[in-house]
Structures are given as structure tokens and as C-alpha cells.
Amino acid sequence: MCGIVGVASANPVNQLLYDALLLLQHRGQDAAGIVTQEGRKFFMHKARGMVRDVFRTRNMRALPGTMGLGQVRYPTAGNAESEEEAQPFYVNAPFGIVMVHNGNLTNAHQLRRELAETDHRHTNTESDSEVLLNVLAHELARASRGEPLTSQDVFAAVRAVHRRIKGSYAVIALIAGHGLLAFRDPFGIRPLCLGRGADGTVMLASESVALEGTLHQLERDVAPGEAVFVHLDGRVEAEQCAEASQLHPCMFEYVYLARPDSVMDGISVYQARLNMGETLAKRVISTVPPSEIDAIIPVPESSRPSAMQLAQRLGIPYREGFVKNRYVGRTFIMPGQATRKKSVRQKLNTIGSEFQGRRVLLVDDSIVRGTTSKEIVQMARDAGATKVYLASAAPPVRHPNVYGIDMPTRGELIAHGRSVEEIRQWIGADALIYQDIDAMKQAVGSINPRVEGFEASCFDGCYITGDISDEEVTALNEGRNRGASEGGDEATSRLSLPNAQHA
């Protein structure tokens, strides 16, 4: 995931873009960037780091104009440490285009070859987003055939892009002197919504919280496969550009990625998490008698709604036992296992009195690499808990995610190739309870029956855009590993897992 935003307004947009990116910061902490357009000229500032660190007053002053876009990056392709791969990306022909992307292309390797050999376009980074921009640029040039660009040309280009690229993508692009383009992949895997401000400003963003928090009204989600084009005068045109489309949003957005105050594809993230707590309660009852649990303690931050609902359902006190240092970011989206591991201790500290002599059920939203779980179970024991049970509001994460969430290799996943009992032993809990996959889909899907299904491949191994072979997963990771300077400690941490069956 990454967070993306685009705005078309009658007023300057630099501060608005900055504010929206701050509201999307939880979606990407590695790099941030903004481009604005004044006349036909683009102004760009991007760098590695969090929004507050990347943009100083002088950078903000250098972003004039009434249209623009921005991104916060959480790298899932290419090189996490490359400043060049921070977004937006720019190409000068045709017209001049800048683009931001949330998602991951699964055929970026093949496209990179096609771009070089057939389209004669050069890409200079390992980023799949740069590939996507060049495909879009090539198709825009083809659709406009050297004539003035019309919105029909833009939609024709998006249709061609849909035919060529595979994977997940929510995209916002500025075409110099023409307007703002946004489109979403034919399965709607990554989120994108549209809204308006009282002054007529049109805003597109990954999550509704970016709209609400900047006083814009959410109008609707961009449909899977749909393209939206905002002209320079603010007129909005939209067209379905995919040959076939179905709404299958990413389940992990509801589990962890999105903010609970966002509504995505008609599903309140908060309600989704409450519902997951409700169904998790049934699983807990069948494993540990509620009479043997003294307190239910969430693992801050994302698990709180599920833990609260679970506690209410079981009639067990909900207590806060871990305090989160709010100045440490989200650990799951940090690159590098050593950083993540160190950050869990820095981030969470126990309130001793909540554990002393108690049998506690810790609740997390998900267990991915197991970094958090192993640490917090030990911390609960160190604080005096007599029994430490652990429940996950999501099912075991057993398969790599290839759609923009950093769970790239099977070997990194604590649940891959292990039974629940083996995972329990590794984590060191007295009992381990996981959500059931079908129950979770039902619990979240029931909030909006128009959602046709979920992209839940990390749980069920079904890849909605077509099967992904092990070779493809390896190819997807190639560029990343080359760039990751922390690859060494990733490897060490994987080797230290007991009985890991590397696929």
C-alpha cells in the first residue's frame, strides 16, 4: 500500500495536498512527494522520509498552482532506499505527465522488456510504478496520434493500459495543460475515492479520511476499471474502461492497512474490525473457556476495535496493558526485520499492574512475520501474567502478497508451512486462536453486499488476477532484494525460525 491523493481546485493546492498526505501517513512512511501544476509547468518536491520531515516551508512555497497530486510511499517493488523511486514519477512526452501509484504490477518484468524493445521507452529505476507511467505515456501518445488530446483519447489510453498491465493499481496522474486523471484496476484491489469541497475542489484519495479530514465530502468510490478525468475548468468526466470488472477489494485494508475512520467501498473499516471481533469470539470460546480469562488486552494500535468487541461478546473486562509510544511508526510497514524487531520494544511498553497474576488474552489484528507476537507474549510474561493466550482477528497469513503489501516471500511468514500448534510454540503463548477465513469474509462482506468478493490471497492463496507461480514471486522480489541493504538481517531472521519450510 501507499497513500495517494490528487486535487483540482480554483485555489492553491500545496497546503491541501500536504494535509491530505499527513492523513494518509499510516499508508507509507518511507518517502513522500508532491507535484503541483501552474500553467503548463510542473513543480515537484519528493524525498525519503515522513511527510513532516520531507516538506519544509521553503519546499511548500515552491509548489504553486491549483492542481496537484501527492504520495506517501511504502515500497513493495524496486529499491526501498532509492530517492529516485520516491513518487511522483515524471515523463516529458507526450504532453508532460506526472503520476502516483498505489499497488503492485505482477508483470512489470515483461512490460519493462516490451517498453525497451517495442515501445522504445527508457526506464531508469527498479520501480514498477515507473513502468506503469511509461505504459500510460505510450498509450496516451498512441491514442492522441499527435492531435490535441481529448477526454476520449484519455479513456482509450486507459483501456489500453488495462489490457497491458496486470496486478493492482490505483493511479492518479496529471497531464500537463490538460487535467487530472485517476483510474483503478479492474478488480478494485487498491482503494480510491472521490469527493468535493465546498469551493468546488475535486479530490481523489486512497481513503475517505483524507477527504473528511480536509473538509471535503466523500461522493463515491471510483469503480473497479473506471477512469475519472478532471478538466482544467473542474468538469469531471468518468468512463468504465475495463472489458470486465468486478469489485474485490483487498481484505488486508480492513484488517490492518486502513484507518478505522475510513469508509472503503461502502464498508466502514471500524465496523469491519468490530465484526471480526464478533466472529473471533466464537473461535475463542471453542478453545479457551471464558472463565479462564481475566482480561482482554489489545495490541495497540490496529487491533483495538476487534479486541473491544471480542471482550464485550465474552463478557470479560477489556483492559489497556500496552502503551504505545506515538513517535514510533507502524512497525509492519518498516523495511528490514532488524528495524521492525527493535521497534516493537521501543513502541510498546507494559503497564505491570494489568498483567501481574492475571490470565490474559492478547488480541492482535494479524500475525504476519510473528515479530510483534513473540515480543509481546514475552513482555506479558515478564510483567507477571500467569497465562498468556493470543488471538488474531485475521486468519493465518500463509501466502505472499503480490498486490502491494510487503509480505513477499513465503519463508518470511510465520504461518507458512506450520500448523497452528507449531506457531503457538514458536510464539510461546499458552493458546493461539486464529480467525476463520470464511467467517471473516462473511463478517466484512455483510456490511456491503455489493462487494462481490475480497482479494484475500495472503490468507487463502487465491490470486484474483490469475495464478502466481513461485517463479513470478521470485521475479517480483528480485529488484527488491538487490536494493535492500538490510537483506542480510532479513535472511538471518528467517533462518532462525524453527522448522521453517521454505517454498
Ligand X SMILES: O=P(O)(O)OC[C@H]1O[C@H](OP(=O)(O)OP(=O)(O)O)[C@H](O)[C@@H]1O
Cell 493461539, residue located: 432
Binding ligand GLN by CB under 6 A: which of 70, 103, 213, 479?
103
Does 114 participate in binding ligand X (rule CB under 6 A)?
no
Q: Which is nearer to ligand X, 14 or 373 (CB)?
A: 373
Write down the least CB distance from residue 102 to Mg ion, Å: 21
Write down the least CB distance from residue 30 to Mg ion, Å: 18
Does 396 participate in binding ligand X (rule CB under 6 A)?
no
Give the number of other CB atoms < 10 A from CB of residue 38: 14
CA neighbours closer than 13 Å in the CB half-sphere of residue 450: 8
Among residues 404, 416, 324, the alpha carbon closest in space to that of 364 is found at 324
Does 367 participate in binding ligand X (rule CB under 6 A)?
yes
Residues of the shown chain interacting with Mg ion in the complex, contacts defined by CB under 5 A: 302
Angle between helix axes 128-144 and 151-164 (nearest 10 degrees) is 130
Does 74 participate in binding ligand GLN (rule CB under 6 A)?
yes
Identify the burial level of 491 via C-beta atoms within 10 angstroms of its C-beta, where 0-12 means exposed, 13-18 middle and 19 or more buried: middle
Residue among 2, 193, 250, 458 flagged as catalytic: 2
User: For the window 347-366, what string marks contact with ligand X as x by the rule CB under 6 A?
Assistant: -----------------xxx
Residue 102 contact, options Mg ion, ligand GLN, ligand X, none, Cβ 5-8 Å cut-off depending on partner type: ligand GLN
How big is the CA angle at 85 (ends 81 and 86), to the nearest 5 degrees? 90
Q: Is 373 within any annotated ligand binding site?
A: no
Residue 36 contact, options Mg ion, ligand X, ligand GLN, none, Cβ 5-8 Å cut-off depending on partner type: none
CA-CA-CA-CA torsion sign (133, 139, 140, 142): positive
CA distance 401 to 457: 7
Q: Which is nearer to ligand GLN, 426 or 463 (CB)?
A: 463
Taking CB atoms, the residue at the shortest distance from ligand GLN is 2
CA distance 71 to 204: 12
Q: Which is nearer to Mg ion, 138 or 304 (CB)?
A: 304
Q: Which is nearer to ligand X, 26 or 46 (CB)?
A: 26
Write down the least CB distance from residue 107 to ligand X, Å: 28
Q: Is 353 within any annotated ligand binding site?
A: no
Does 256 participate in binding ligand GLN (rule CB under 6 A)?
no
Instruction: Note whether 256 and 372 are within 8 A (CB).
Output: no
Write down the least CB distance from residue 85 to ligand GLN, Å: 6
Does 330 participate in binding ligand X (rule CB under 6 A)?
yes
**Is there a catalytic annotation at residue 2?**
yes
Does 299 participate in binding ligand X (rule CB under 6 A)?
yes
CA-CA-CA-CA torsion sign (162, 167, 171, 176): negative
Of how many residues is the chain composed?
503
Instruction: Note whether 27 and 3 are within 8 A (CB).
Output: yes
How big is the CA angle at 347 (ends 344 and 352), to the nearest 5 degrees? 95
251 CB contacts (<8 Å, ≥6 apart)?
440, 441, 444, 454, 455, 456, 459
179-184 and 167-175 strand pairing = antiparallel
Residue 366 contact, options ligand GLN, Mg ion, ligand X, none, Cβ 5-8 Å cut-off depending on partner type: ligand X
Does 369 participate in binding ligand X (rule CB under 6 A)?
yes
Residue type, 12: P
Among residues 82, 101, 30, 3, the alpha carbon closest in space to that of 330 is found at 30
Does 32 participate in binding ligand GLN (rule CB under 6 A)?
no
Write down the least CB distance from residue 408 to ligand GLN, Å: 11
Does 373 participate in binding ligand X (rule CB under 6 A)?
yes
The residues annotated as belonging to the active site are 2
Residues placed in the known binding site for Mg(2+): 302, 364-365
Interface contacts to ligand X, rule CB under 6 A? 256, 299-302, 330-333, 364-373
Binding site residues, ligand GLN, CB under 6 A: 1-2, 73-78, 101-104, 127-129, 404
